[in-house]
Structure 1
Amino acid sequence: MSSIPKEQLAQIRGEMLQTLLRQVAALACSVGAAVVVARLLGPEGNGRCAASVMIALGLSQFLELGLPQANSHLLARSFSLRQAATANLAAWSTLSLVGLLGAGIAIRWYGQDLLPGVPIELQVLGLASFPLVLLQAMLVSMLRGLRDFRRYNRVLLVSPAATLVLVIFWCGTQGLGAAGALWAFLVGQLLGIGATLVSLRPHWVSATMETTALESYWRRCADFGLKSHGVACLSFLSERTGFFLVNLFLLPAAAGVYAIAAQISDRLLMLSLAASTVLLPRLSTLEDPAPRAALTARFAGLAMGLSALVCVLLAGLARPVIGLLFGDRYLEAVPVLQCLLVAVPAVNLARVLATDLAARGRPELNLHPAAGTTLLNVALGWMLIPHGGLMGGAVATTVGYCAGAMLTVWTYLRVTRSPQTAGSPDFEATVPVGSSNDRAD
């Protein structure tokens, strides 16, 4: 660890702490909204809302083409915010149109087959949120690439906080039901976009526009972004497979119970997310493999150790926590949550290692672990859920996550122990460094 300057390490710790505190605050808001929806709408209504939101999140994930990941990587290295914004807005307008048309046709003809029990009007509301989710992902990634974590963490609180307030108002006092919850999600995304644009303005004013290099930015985005896109899509599929299959085989009421357990376990990945958020732009600028490996080892171990402690505590308190927050109708989620918690520490470790691989310009190395996780989740879920119900879905997800984590660790060790790949990969040489657009925090 001596190869890492103490000042830099302290700065990274501070940025991670800011990010983690923001995630805790966002967690409180999202849990609050989930509690309101779950108690007012019951398991069936909760399942319908979760399925409709999944439409927006899924479309955004599959159509972003790795642009947010590329923004975080490239803006940290050499490119201008104006280059990134020009490229991203052009891509957003095209991808939004494609997504709205394609998904609209699919909902019209196959909506009830793919999401049985979820009314078409709720699916349409979920679809309407998709362009906003996509735009917010692109804009926020620019703040991350600029390493402006103070504003980054502030703007990411706006959407969950606004959604919580609107859910309480529209569902709790106006009785708008599932539609009110989805409108709250949509408006929350819109307010988050407004806050992000305001936060980007100081960087925009000081940025230069190098029009001759715009083609170069597109090329680098295609190189890095498309490599990471497949991994992100597979990761999303593996995260949502259990919920989708539960809704398909057991219908929205069971899916609403499963969603509670899945949402809680997913929130415990915040430790690796905080580490990855801060480390990706940092590691992308490091040429020396020694400090890169030291940073990764330190924060991967921290994410795994702390999450293991939290998981043990939560597993023991799962019944009173779920009963107190969501009510007795959701106690069936307790064993599901306890099963899902088994994989959380391993996934936290693997995600930090995967961030290191992506920062080396080799995000495609994460493809095999992500594919293995997804295939196992789908195959096991298809076999176990019809007979094992909710626990079948939990077991399938846990086995898939653990297997994927082991594959990630194996891939990371293979890369870092190889003399040819331990340092900067070929991609590093293709991205200009030392540009005047590099920024400090």
Structure 2
Amino acid sequence: MRRIAAVLVGRSMARVAQFVAFLLLGRMLDPSDFGWYGILTASIVLAAQIGSIGLRQAAAVWLGQGKDTPGQVVANLLTLWPVLSALSVVGVLLVAPPVGAVGLAFVIPVAMLGAMAVILMQGVLLGLGRTTAFGLTDSLMPMLLLVAVAGFALTGQASLGAVLVALAGSYLLAGGVAIVMGLRWGGLARPEPSRIVPMVRHGFAFAVNVFLILLSTRISLFLVEGLASAEAAGQFFVGQRLSDVLGEVAMAAGFVLFSDTVRAEDRAAAMRANARIAAFVLWGFTGLSIVVMLLAAPLVALTFGETYAPAVPVLQITALAIGPAAATKLIYPTLTAQGRPLIATPVILVGIAVNVALSLVLIPGFGLTGAAIALVASQVALLAGYGVVLKRRFEIPYRTSLIPSLRGDGP
């Protein structure tokens, strides 16, 4: 718990930086540009996750279970790094907004190289139990971006193109630091191509699931842009992202639990302990969501101005998903640490289906409010589905992951 608390504090600081940068960007960019910024950044994150083919988790499992030496894993990951980055760039370019071909030709490859390096080296750090170093690699990019955005705010020189260049630079610097840390803690041996294929095969299922999890919350943004407009997407991005930032704090803690579980001698006991932690996170973050709902109107007005008034109901509604989303971000990594990465895939697909179906029905009639309702429903469905998996596969009672308790499951 102490290590989780430390990572939560570090992640919270990073999210504060991300939040401040987010507010400044909302002030500097008009809703349409802000919507395109949200779509492009979401595309980069999604492409990096699927493009990494689950090697963050696979590398952690490989090292946690002693299947390869750290230096060998680092060498194999660095061999794959430029190849995976290039393939991911192609994916982003297919959905990139029209902000200028020359600008995107620079921004996307640079950002992807950095994002991919962070993801791959985090697998090494998690497998070795270096959670503090993991936390630093996770926090550095938003910190660097905040510095750049603050500079734009002070000089009054801000445009979508300039912001995207700053984003790319932040990713690249964070990626460089991640590589240095991976080399420091893991060392470097000669690449072993024969060991790459088994690790890739093991990691691909992780990649699919992580991609689907990220898509389950970000698909709403794409649906709003497609069914409404880029300006509407910008309004939705403000409300949804404000609540999502809090939920993402739990993601780093989930990776710590993954690291601990994959190296645990008794994984069943670790699974039960993690389910109990998820219950505390669920209700702790639900308490935060109430505060967000009450302060939504003045928060949006003071930070973004009246231009983003339509984002207020979006924030108030999506705040209801903060607790369930935070709990699922803890439960999922511990499920995959059991060595069965596809165990939760059906549940994730159900959550996405709920979001898409409700969005298609509600957005045409209710606009942004309908999209927010669909998002909340999908996160509740995801949490309920994980509860079923815990009960059926691990015989963990529903109350363990839903009701906080300092005791074990009991008879």
Same fold by TM (over 0.5)?
yes
Q: What are the equivalent positions in structure 2 for 1:74-153 lying under 5 Å apart?
A: 74-78=62-66, 79-101=68-90, 103-104=92-93, 106=94, 115=97, 120=101, 123-124=104-105, 126-128=107-109, 129-153=111-135
CA contact (8 A) 1:52 1:123 kept: no
Q: In the aligned structure 2, how far is the partner of 1:229 from the partner of 1:32?
A: 30
Q: In the aligned structure 2, how far is the partner of 1:411 from the partner of 1:161?
A: 37
Please state how far the C-alpha of 1:231 moved relative to its aligned partner: 1.1
Match for residue 343 of structure 2 among 360, 365, 388: 365
Q: In the aligned structure 1, how far is the partner of 2:233 from the partner of 2:22?
A: 14
Give yes or no for the alignment of 1:198 onto 2:180.
yes
Q: In the aligned structure 2, how far is the partner of 1:153 from the partner of 1:55?
A: 23
CA contact (8 A) 2:27 2:304 kept: yes
Match for residue 146 of structure 2 among 136, 151, 164: 164
Please state how far the C-alpha of 1:135 moved relative to its aligned partner: 1.9
The alignment's TM-score, normalised by the length of structure 1, stands at 0.83
Q: Could you say if the C-alpha distance between residues 170 and 321 of structure 1 is closer, same or farther in structure 2, counting changes exceeding 3 Å? A: closer
Q: In the aligned structure 1, how far is the partner of 2:16 from the partner of 2:355?
A: 29
Please state how far the C-alpha of 1:41 moved relative to its aligned partner: 1.2
Unaligned 5+ runs, structure 2: 397-411
Please state how far the C-alpha of 1:243 moved relative to its aligned partner: 0.5
Please state how far the C-alpha of 1:244 moved relative to its aligned partner: 0.6
* Equivalence for 1:215: 194
CA contact (8 A) 1:68 1:142 kept: yes
Match for residue 68 of structure 1 among 47, 56, 63: 56
* Equivalence for 2:401: none
* Equivalence for 1:31: 19
Give yes or no for the alignment of 1:410 onto 2:388.
yes
Q: Could you say if the C-alpha distance between residues 344 and 332 of structure 1 is closer, same or farther in structure 2, counting changes exceeding 3 Å? A: same
Give the secondary-structure state (helix, strand or coil) at the position aligned to 1:268. helix
Q: What are the equivalent positions in structure 2 for 1:32-431 lying under 5 Å apart?
A: 32-78=20-66, 79-101=68-90, 103-104=92-93, 106=94, 115=97, 120=101, 123-124=104-105, 126-128=107-109, 129-170=111-152, 172-173=154-155, 175-205=157-187, 209=189, 215-216=194-195, 218-223=197-202, 225-289=203-267, 291-417=269-395
Unaligned 5+ runs, structure 1: 1-12, 419-441
CA contact (8 A) 1:32 1:164 kept: yes
* Equivalence for 1:435: none
Deviations 1:366-401 (A, max 9, x none): 101111111221222122212211111111111112
CA contact (8 A) 2:19 2:245 kept: no
CA contact (8 A) 1:76 1:285 kept: yes
Give the secondary-structure state (helix, strand or coil) at the position aligned to 2:367. helix
Q: In the aligned structure 2, how far is the partner of 1:126 from the partner of 1:373?
A: 32
CA contact (8 A) 1:171 1:181 kept: no
CA contact (8 A) 1:41 1:177 kept: yes
CA contact (8 A) 2:74 2:183 kept: no
Please state how far the C-alpha of 1:55 moved relative to its aligned partner: 2.6
Please state how far the C-alpha of 1:179 moved relative to its aligned partner: 0.9
Q: In the aligned structure 2, how far is the partner of 1:59 from the partner of 1:342?
A: 28
Q: In the aligned structure 2, how far is the partner of 1:353 from the partner of 1:374?
A: 17
Name the aligned partner's letter for residue 344 of structure 1.
I
Name the aligned partner's letter for residue 309 of structure 1.
G
CA contact (8 A) 2:114 2:171 kept: yes
CA contact (8 A) 1:55 1:126 kept: no
Q: In the aligned structure 1, how far is the partner of 2:260 from the partner of 2:200?
A: 18
Name the aligned partner's letter for residue 324 of structure 2.
A
More displaced, 166-175 or 17-26?
Answer: 166-175
Give the secondary-structure state (helix, strand or coil) at the position aligned to 2:223. helix
Q: In the aligned structure 2, how far is the partner of 1:357 from the partner of 1:158?
A: 27
CA contact (8 A) 2:117 2:176 kept: no
Please state how far the C-alpha of 1:333 moved relative to its aligned partner: 1.2
Q: Could you say if the C-alpha distance between residues 102 and 316 of structure 1 is closer, same or farther in structure 2, counting changes exceeding 3 Å? A: closer
CA contact (8 A) 1:51 1:118 kept: no
Please state how far the C-alpha of 1:216 moved relative to its aligned partner: 4.2
The alignment's TM-score, normalised by the length of structure 2, stands at 0.88
Give the secondary-structure state (helix, strand or coil) at the position aligned to 2:157. coil
More displaced, 399-408 or 74-83?
Answer: 74-83
What is the identity percentage for the equivalent residue pairs of Structure 1 and Structure 2? 23
CA contact (8 A) 2:318 2:373 kept: yes
Please state how far the C-alpha of 1:310 moved relative to its aligned partner: 0.7
Q: Could you say if the C-alpha distance between residues 297 and 99 of structure 1 is closer, same or farther in structure 2, counting changes exceeding 3 Å? A: closer
Q: Could you say if the C-alpha distance between residues 118 and 257 of structure 1 is closer, same or farther in structure 2, counting changes exceeding 3 Å? A: farther
Q: In the aligned structure 2, how far is the partner of 1:157 from the partner of 1:277?
A: 14
* Equivalence for 1:3: none
Give the secondary-structure state (helix, strand or coil) at the position aligned to 1:269. helix
CA contact (8 A) 1:167 1:180 kept: no
Q: In the aligned structure 2, how far is the partner of 1:101 from the partner of 1:192?
A: 22
Q: In the aligned structure 2, how far is the partner of 1:151 from the partner of 1:259?
A: 30
* Equivalence for 2:403: none
